[in-house]
Amino acid sequence: MDKNNITILKIGGSVITDKSADDGAARVSKIERIAGEISGFEGKLIIVHGAGSFGHPQVKRFGLTGKFDHIGSIITHMSVRELNTMVVEALNFAGVNALPVHPMACVVSKNGRIKSMFTEQIGEMLANGFVPVLHGDMVMDSELGTSVLSGDQIVPYLAIQMKASRIGIGSAEEGVLNNKGEVIPSISNSNFDQIKEYLGGSSNTDVTGGMLGKVLELLKLSEQSNSTSYIFNAGNAGNISDFLKGKNIGTAISGDRTI
């Protein structure tokens, strides 16, 4: 693999936390196992992790998808920051030169969509052998005061800005599943209408659309770039290292031109 190619990996909050909990419950052994799998990778890597029970229940509790609230925004940000510290520490312990990048400090959204993001530091980190670790967060919003920014929105945004060549979204299922629980091998605009009835939110608290939200973000990305993204199960040992080794697992989401 070309050493200058950039890979973006999202680690779902559904994997590294107990999403059925109503306050931050980390799955420490999963975080450590995943950090170990990432430590074998030698290319340029950006990690984005979800908030799981360190963000979704707090947003719901304070009603942050519908109204502005100082305390709720602060509590949610501090909570997901705590998860980010655990992830960054585990990565460093495993030998990965990981650094935190908090979206609250470098993103402004407009009505919930990223309007601008300072990314120069991410480029410098990659050039100097660091692994930036971003996460779903509360961010400032030019219309709403603050808004929820999903890791699922950060991934495609960065994929375009940083011209990433490989995108993987590790979540808690084998891929995008049909009504029989089988993995749908590939999704593009040409089959989306047939499979959209199978796509739902999350079985746990998820304020950013669960699996449907994820697929919609990645389909949008495929319209704007030539990239293919893979949704796979990061809960299974070995999947993240397989993905990083170049194996295509789970569901591929791509533009019609690339399928």
Ligand X SMILES: Nc1ncnc2c1ncn2[C@@H]1O[C@H](COP(=O)(O)OP(=O)(O)OP(=O)(O)O)[C@@H](O)[C@H]1O
8 Å CB contact between 232 and 238:
no
Which residues, 44 to 73, sit near ligand X by CB under 6 A? 50-52
Binding of ligand X by 40 (CB under 6 A)? no
Binding of ligand X by 204 (CB under 6 A)? yes
Shortest distance, CB of residue 245 to ligand X, whole angstroms? 22
User: What is the distance between the alpha carbons of residues 17 and 243, in angstroms, rounded to a whole number?
Assistant: 21
Shortest distance, CB of residue 9 to ligand X, whole angstroms? 12
The stretch near ligand X (CB under 6 A) out of 84-92, 199-207, 217-225, 239-247 is 199-207
Shortest distance, CB of residue 92 to ligand X, whole angstroms? 22
Shortest distance, CB of residue 213 to Mg ion, whole angstroms? 6
Binding of ligand X by 199 (CB under 6 A)? yes
Shortest distance, CB of residue 57 to Mg ion, whole angstroms? 13
Q: How would you classify the pairing of strands 98-100 and 107-110?
A: unpaired
Binding of ligand X by 202 (CB under 6 A)? yes
Residue 67, classified by CB atoms within 10 Å of its CB into exposed (0-12), middle (13-18) or buried (19+), is exposed
Can you spell out the DSSP letters for the chain? --TT-EEEEEE-HHHHB-TTSSS--B-HHHHHHHHHHHHT--SEEEEEE--GGGTHHHHHHTTTTTS--HHHHHHHHHHHHHHHHHHHHHHHHTT--EEE--GGGTEEEETTEEEEE--HHHHHHHHTT-EEEEE-EEEEETTTEEEEE-HHHHHHHHHHHTT-SEEEEEESSSSSB-TTS-B--EE-HHHHHHHGGG----SS--TT-HHHHHHHHHHHHHHHSS--EEEEETTSTTHHHHHHTT---SEEE--TTT-
Among Mg ion, ligand X, none, residue 52 binds (CB under 5-8 Å by kind)? ligand X
Among ligand X, Mg ion, none, residue 199 binds (CB under 5-8 Å by kind)? ligand X
Q: Pick from 198, 216, 242, 248 the residue near ligand X by CB under 6 A.
A: 198
Shortest distance, CB of residue 99 to ligand X, whole angstroms? 20
Q: Pick from 206, 215, 228, 250 the residue near Mg ion by CB under 5 A.
A: 206
x/- map, 135-164, ligand X, by CB under 6 A: ----------------x-------------
Binding of ligand X by 171 (CB under 6 A)? yes
- Contact footprint for ligand X (CB under 6 A): 12-14, 19, 50-52, 151, 171-173, 176-177, 198-200, 202-204, 206, 208, 210-211, 214
List residues binding Mg ion (CB under 5 A). 206
